[in-house]
Chain A
């Protein structure tokens, strides 16, 4: 089915299921309950999950397959966002031209940067990509302000031409849409204390992510993907066979740059603003962390990694002392204060600390990231269970 192998089909089906059911899965706690703080099922964050998922999937095509660690991938995301917002300003609020242009421009940009950077390998390649991205960031923040609107970020305004759209007389900014469907439209479903939000923008992004994910599986399983793995394993040997590996790495680089551009274009489609910080090295570093955290080279890893980091950024940063007191107010005052004091450093303004600790814990105890480590852990559990069950009789008397 879908020209996928059995395992891949399983993974793909799993991703389809969790994505489409995300509004339910992300909202496990009823509204108003103390744990509702951990709900992530609101449109903005769900959109971010899938968009950064696309970004990480694309990054994984380069890093996971070829082993080339780009430290400047955020530049493509940024360029994609700028291209998309310019389409909203000049042409129309329909997201299709914006996304197409975002992918094309970032692909071109990736072609240029990749052509130069791929002349080197290893850390030299990483630093070249980093340098290009940092240059793009610095220039976008300052000199290129006429194009990027610098510090403030590029936004749509009432005075933009938007030649394809009808004249806007509402006095309000137009919203992004897809042939009449507004991206921000949300329907809420209330069932016995739960409130599930279904957002058009999220489902549009989700479908695009599923398409992108499907494509990445196909790339992974294609002869091209095999070639990329060969490059990772031993580029020298490949070169000795007379094969020029550069076109393959360049293709991978451009494809993953286009994924980043797609993510950037989608991000702008959900929220028409493009800021220069999207291109800063910290943003490039974030996608590296997402991929490694989830498991570089695995299909599912990058998506999990992206969700993991975005979850902590958006949920943990919002837990303040007030919320903590709310959780523990069933305890006596003394205990309540102790608990709040203990947890306080790890939430709210301390969410970085939690994230840093989790990075360390995960990489120490789950080598290879969430997916690899998780699978290994699962297998060990399974074998232990079997061991236990088979040796039950033998061990019982000894006790």
Chain B
């Protein structure tokens, strides 16, 4: 049997992985909250659109020429139409297959310009007009936008999840436990989840570095703290905020692209994450980027712990069955009651 140590380590790994998705989405959401003071209910939709960038690329790569194979038949007993992807025709079978196989990593580069553009258009075309409007109006318009975006995706791709696998080299799992001296099969970890964790850590670090170490970032941070003063200094803060909106959209989109091999994307995955990401942001504290990331990982890890059989058993014994159903919300309540502004929140942001 397995020791408690393995189980805990295993769930920390799982938690880091869940947490990195939460953290990435929450980071983008906080950028928009913090910089622009806009409650963006369409942020989940941006995550979803990122994922569908990968799906779209997969469809593009699979655009095929159709030849008829008289030997085989389709389900109606007619000659089978065999599809050969164009990339295979152009680059040869081996290279063509490799390109299709590496769809998800390639989609990263495909999605960045798209997400930036969507971010710019959204901010310039819609959100900009809502800076001075009450939060209620912002909620309504972004929620409407989220519905519209997901319905458009549904119209093109249907409601069923679409498998978007990782490249073959990243499929399957490796025995992390053996590498650090545990028994065989004790700690198994899928390759792609390691990739996801590494990737999101890199993105998070890049965003922080960008804000911390560049002049551009410095101005944005100044603008977050006091927009008017920065504006009075003659700095075009609006343009910078537009760019930040684009960056936030790109971060959400990248989180979506890389998430596709973990769970097949569908059109309402954004809504599924929306509420959760708001909880993460608020638990982290309004206006704090660090808080959002911290809360993302914290909630991810605690959620994983709560699904451990030992933990479920313990809570069942004290008449709290199915602790894993409510853990996120329970933690949110405890944190918000213990710390009025979440983990690292600033005073006065979205408090009235």
Contact = CB atoms under 8 A, between A and B. Distances in A.
A and B touch in the complex (CB under 8 A): yes
Interface of A: 63, 67, 69, 116, 119-124, 126-128, 130-132, 134-135, 138-139, 142-143, 235, 281, 285, 288-289, 292-293, 296, 345, 350, 352-353, 355-360, 362-364, 367-368
Given A138-B325, A353-B151, A132 B141 contact: no
Contact of B341 (A124, A128, A292, A293): A124
B329 A135 contact: yes
Contacts, number: 126
Query: Which residue, B126, B328, B332, has most C-beta atoms of chain A within 10 A?
Result: B332
Q: Chain A interface mostly helix, strand, loop or mixed?
A: helix
B333 A143 contact: no
Contacts of B145: 356, 360
A120 B347 CA distance: 12
Interface residues of B, number: 43
B144 A127 contact: no
Contact of A357 (B140, B144, B332, B340): B144
A128 B322 contact: no
B326 interface: yes
Given A127-B336, A292-B136, A235 B352 contact: yes
A127 B141 contact: no
Given A120-B340, A124-B336, A356 B148 contact: yes
Contacts of A288: 139
Given A123-B286, A124-B336, A139 B326 contact: yes
A139 B322 contact: yes
A127 to B, nearest CB: 4
Given A116-B333, A353-B151, 6 more contacts: A120-B337, A122-B351, A124-B341, A127-B279, A127-B336, A130-B275
Contact of B352 (A63, A121, A130): A121
A120 B333 CA distance: 11
Query: Which residue, B136, B147, B322, B352, has most C-beta atoms of chain A within 10 A?
Result: B136
A358 B144 contact: yes
A288 B137 CA distance: 11
Nearest to B280: A127
Contacts of A132: 329, 333
A124 B351 contact: yes
B21 interface: no
Contact of B151 (A139, A292, A350): A350
A115 B146 CA distance: 33
A121 B286 CA distance: 12
Interface in B146-165: 146-148, 150-152, 155
A367 B351 contact: no
Contacts of A120: 336-337, 340
22 contacts: A120-B340, A123-B351, A124-B340, A126-B282, A127-B283, A128-B332, A128-B333, A128-B337, A130-B278, A131-B328, A134-B326, A135-B330, A139-B322, A142-B325, A143-B321, A143-B325, A352-B151, A356-B143, A356-B151, A358-B144, A359-B144, A360-B126
Contacts of B139: 288, 292
B29 to A, nearest CB: 12
Nearest to B138: A363
A359 B147 CA distance: 9
Query: Which residue, B137, B144, B145, B148, has most C-beta atoms of chain A within 10 A?
Result: B144
B342 interface: yes
Contacts of A356: 143-148, 151
A368 B333 CA distance: 31
Given A124-B342, A139-B322, A139-B326, A289 B143 contact: yes
Contacts of A135: 325-326, 329-330
A132 B264 CA distance: 30
Contacts of B155: 345, 350, 353
Interface string B316-352: 0000011001101110110011001110000000111
Given A131-B329, A135-B329, A143-B325, A360 B351 contact: no
Contacts of B328: 131
